[in-house]
C-alpha cells in the first residue's frame, strides 16, 4: 500500500479527534463556568450520556459489518457536525435539556463515524504491519487535530470559555475538507462477510476470543489511567498550578510529543513486537507522571516536562493496542463488531472518569476556582491513575505471548 493512500486514509482522523478533545476535556469546565451547572449534576449528565453512547457502540459495530463502511462513515458525519456546533453554543435557558440533546446527537454521529472508519482501516490492511501503519496514520492525524483543538481556544479569544465556544466555527469546514480527501482518495468498499449473523451471535463470537478479551482487560485498566487526568486536567492546571492561561499550550505540548513519537513506536514495534513496546511506553508514562503529585502553584516548567515525557508515551498508547485489535478483528472476520466493543470500553472508561471523579471531588470538598479540596484533586488527578497504569502494565506483561499477534 502506497504512503499517499495511507495518509489519505488518516486525514479524516484530524477533525474527529479535533472534536473529541473539547467533548471529553473542555465540556466539564466549560459548562461549569458558562452555565453554572452544579458539578454533581454535570457529572451525572455526562455519565448518563456517555454510558448511553457507549452501549450503542456494539450495535454500530455490528452494523458496520453489514453496511458499506465508506457510506456509513459519510452519513454519520452530518449529525456529528450539527451536534458539536450545538454543544458549544448553549442557550441561556433550558441548559440541561440542550446539553443532553446535543450530547446525544454528537455522540451518535461521532460513534457511527468512528466505528465505520476503524473497521474500514482494518479491512484495508493486508497484514499486521500495514494495519499498524494505517492505525498510526489515523492516530497521527488525530493528534494534530487534538493539538489544534488545544491551541485554538487561546488564539480565538482571550477568555478560555469564549475560545472554546468558537471551536464550533472551525470544525465544519475542517471536517468537509478532510472528508473530501479521505472519501475521494481511498477506495474502500467491502462486502459484508456475515450478513445473516445476529448481533448477539457476533458479540459472543468476539468475546470468545481469549486474546481479544485479554487485550480488552489491559485496555480498560490503561484507559482509566488516562481518562482520570484527561477529565481533571483543566481543574488541576487552574487550581493547583494557577496557570489557566497556559492550559492550551500544555495540552498542545502533550499531544505534539505524542505525534512526534508515533513513528518511533511504530518502528520499534516492527523490530521488538507491539506488546513489548507498548509495555515499555507504560513504564515511561509512570516514571513521568508520578511527579505530578508533588507540584504546586507556579510549577509550570516541571509540569511542562511531565506533559512532554508522558506525551512521548502517548504515541504507543494510541497506535499499538488499536492495531492489535484490528488484527484480531480481521482474524475473526468481523472488525466492525470488535471495534464496536473497543469503543464501548473506551467510552465506558471516560464515562466512569467523569461520572465518578467529579461527584467524588464534590463530596471531598473540592470547589473549582478556590482553595477548597485541592488535596483531593491532587490525589484523584495524579496518584489514582498510577495504580491503574501499574495494573495494566502488569497484566500486559503477564499475557505478552498470547497478545503478540502477527499476520
Residues 6 or more apart from 115 whose CB is under 8 A from it? 57, 60, 61, 64, 336, 339, 340, 343
Q: For 3-186+199-403, which CATH class?
A: mainly alpha
pLDDT at 126: 67
d(CA 95, CA 400): 48
DSSP H helical ranges for 273-371: 274-289, 300-332, 335-363
pLDDT at 33 > cutoff 60: yes
pLDDT at 255: 83
pLDDT at 349: 77
d(CA 163, CA 249): 14
What are the tens digits of pLDDT across the range 91-114?
A: 888 888 889 999 989 999 999 999
Q: Is the pTM of this model over 0.85?
A: no
pLDDT grade, residue 55 (50/70/90)?
A: confident
Amino acid at each position: 500500500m502506497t504512503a499517499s493512500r495511507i495518509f489519505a486514509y488518516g486525514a479524516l482522523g484530524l477533525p474527529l479527534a479535533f472534536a473529541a478533545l473539547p467533548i471529553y476535556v473542555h465540556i466539564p469546565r466549560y459548562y461549569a463556568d458558562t452555565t453554572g451547572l452544579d458539578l454533581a449534576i454535570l457529572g451525572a449528565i455526562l455519565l448518563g450520556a456517555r454510558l448511553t453512547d457507549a452501549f450503542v457502540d456494539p450495535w454500530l459495530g455490528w452494523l458496520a459489518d453489514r453496511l458499506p463502511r465508506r457510506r456509513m462513515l459519510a452519513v454519520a458525519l452530518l449529525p456529528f457536525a450539527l451536534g458539536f456546533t450545538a454543544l458549544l453554543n448553549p442557550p441561556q435557558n433550558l441548559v440541561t435539556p440542550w446539553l443532553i440533546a446535543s450530547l446525544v446527537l454528537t455522540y451518535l454521529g461521532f460513534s457511527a463515524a468512528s466505528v465505520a472508519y476503524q473497521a474500514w482501516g482494518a479491512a484495508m490492511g493486508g497484514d499486521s504491519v500495514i494495519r499498524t501503519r494505517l492505525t498510526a496514520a489515523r492516530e497521527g492525524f488525530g493528534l494534530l487535530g487534538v493539538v489544534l483543538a488545544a491551541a485554538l481556544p487561546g488564539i480565538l479569544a482571550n477568555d478560555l470559555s469564549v475560545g472554546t465556544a468558537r471551536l464550533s466555527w472551525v470544525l465544519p469546514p475542517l471536517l468537509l475538507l478532510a472528508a473530501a480527501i479521505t472519501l475521494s482518495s481511498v477506495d474502500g468498499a467491502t462486502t459484508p462477510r456475515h450478513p445473516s449473523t445476529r448481533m448477539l451471535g457476533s458479540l459472543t463470537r468476539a468475546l470468545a476470543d481469549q486474546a481479544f478479551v485479554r487485550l480488552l482487560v489491559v485496555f480498560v485498566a490503561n484507559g482509566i489511567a488516562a481518562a482520570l487526568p484527561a477529565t481533571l486536567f483543566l481543574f488541576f492546571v487552574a487550581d493547583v498550578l494557577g496557570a489557566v492561561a497556559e492550559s492550551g499550550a500544555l495540552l498542545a505540548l502533550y499531544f505534539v510529543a505524542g505525534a512526534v513519537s508515533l513513528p518511533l513506536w511504530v518502528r520499534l514495534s516492527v523490530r521488538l513486537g507491539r506488546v513489548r513496546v507498548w509495555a515499555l511506553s507504560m513504564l515511561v508514562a509512570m516514571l513521568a507522571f508520578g511527579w505530578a503529585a508533588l507540584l504546586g502553584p507556579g510549577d509550570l516548567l516541571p509540569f511542562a516536562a511531565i506533559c512532554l515525557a508522558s506525551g512521548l508515551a502517548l504515541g504507543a498508547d494510541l497506535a499499538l493496542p488499536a492495531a492489535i485489535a484490528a488484527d484480531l478483528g480481521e482474524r475473526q472476520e468481523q472488525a466492525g463488531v470488535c471495534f464496536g466493543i473497543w469503543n464501548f470500553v473506551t467510552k465506558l472508561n471516560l464515562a466512569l472518569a467523569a461520572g465518578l471523579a467529579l461527584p467524588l471531588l464534590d463530596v471531598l470538598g473540592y470547589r473549582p476556582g478556590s482553595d477548597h479540596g485541592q488535596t483531593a484533586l491532587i490525589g484523584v488527578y495524579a496518584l489514582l491513575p498510577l495504580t491503574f497504569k501499574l495494573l495494566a502494565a502488569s497484566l500486559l506483561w503477564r499475557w505478552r505471548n498470547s497478545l503478540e499477534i502477527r499476520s
